[in-house]
A and B are shown apart, each in its own frame.
Chain A
Amino acid sequence: QSALAQPASVSGSPGQSITISCTGTGSNIGTSNLVSWYQQRPGKAPKLIIYEVSRRPSGASDRFSGSKSGSTASLTISGLQAEDEADYFCYSYGGYTTYVFGTGTTLTVL
C-alpha cells in the first residue's frame, strides 16, 4: 500500500500554530481511528506524540493535538518552540497486513 501523503515541509515562527496534514484513503484513515503521529528529531528514534487520532500519551506536550476528517488526519502544534523542530510522521492501520506511515514532514521553526 502507498505511503500516506504529507507535505514535505512546513514552517512557523515561535509562538505560532501550525498544522500538518496526512492524507490517506477509504482503506486506511477513512475507516480507521488507528491513527498516530511520531516526532523524530535528527539522529534520534521516533517518539509517539498522538495515538487513536487525538489521544496524547503520558508525557507528551499538550501543545500537540490531533484530529481527523474523512480520509485526512491532522496534527496541530500550538505555541511553537524551537525544540519542536523535527520530522513528523503519521501512521494508519489499513488492514491485516497493512501498517502504513506517512511520507514525513520536516518542521522548521523560523
Chain B
Amino acid sequence: EVQLVQSGAEVKKPGESLKISCKGSGYNFTTWWIGWVRQMPGKGLEWMGIIYPGDSEVIYSPSFQGQVTISVDKSISTAYLQWSSLKASDSAIYYCVRGYSGTSQFDPWGRGTLVTVS
C-alpha cells in the first residue's frame, strides 16, 4: 500500500525553528514528486512547493520562496519542510502529497501535521 506518514503535531513559540517530516512507503520514493500544502484554520489549500527526491530539485511557490525550506533524504524515503523562525501566522495544518511529473494526479496525501505557533 502506498503511504505517506507525517510527523506528529507540534507546538512552538514565535522565533523557534521547526522541521516536520513525511515518510513514503510502498512505492519507488525517488521517482515521484512530493508536494507540501498548507491549510490554515478554516481555509483552503495552498501549494507551498514540490521536491523530486531523485535529484532533490525543488520548485517553490512564489508565495513561500524564502519562507520555508523543502528537502529530502532519499536514503530513508523522507521529505522535510522546515522553518528557521516561526511566526504565529505559520499556524496551520501542513500536508504532504505524492505527485508525478506532467500529471495533475496528486495522491495519496499524508494525514497532515498540525503546527501551532503561540
Contacts and interface: CB of A to CB of B under 8 A. Distances in A.
Secondary structure of the A contact surface, majority rule: strand
Contacts of A103: 44
A95 B110 CA distance: 25
B104 A96 contact: no
Interface stretch (A10-18, A44-52, A75-83): A44-52
A70 to B, nearest CB: 18
A51 B68 CA distance: 28
B50 A104 contact: no
A100 interface: yes
Nearest to A92: B104
Interface in B33-68: 35, 37, 44-47, 50, 59-62
B60 to A, nearest CB: 7
Contact size range, B: 20 to 34
A100 B112 CA distance: 19
B12 interface: no
A11 to B, nearest CB: 19
Contact size range, A: 20 to 34
Given A3-B44, A34-B104, A51-B103, A46 B59 contact: no
A46 B44 contact: no
Contacts of B45: 38, 46, 89, 101, 104
A35 interface: yes
A24 interface: no
Given A36-B105, A102-B44, 4 more contacts: A45-B95, A45-B109, A51-B106, A91-B104
15 contacts: A1-B62, A33-B104, A35-B104, A36-B105, A36-B106, A38-B106, A45-B112, A89-B45, A91-B104, A91-B106, A92-B104, A97-B59, A97-B61, A101-B47, A103-B44
Interface of B: 35, 37, 44-47, 50, 59-62, 95, 97, 102-112
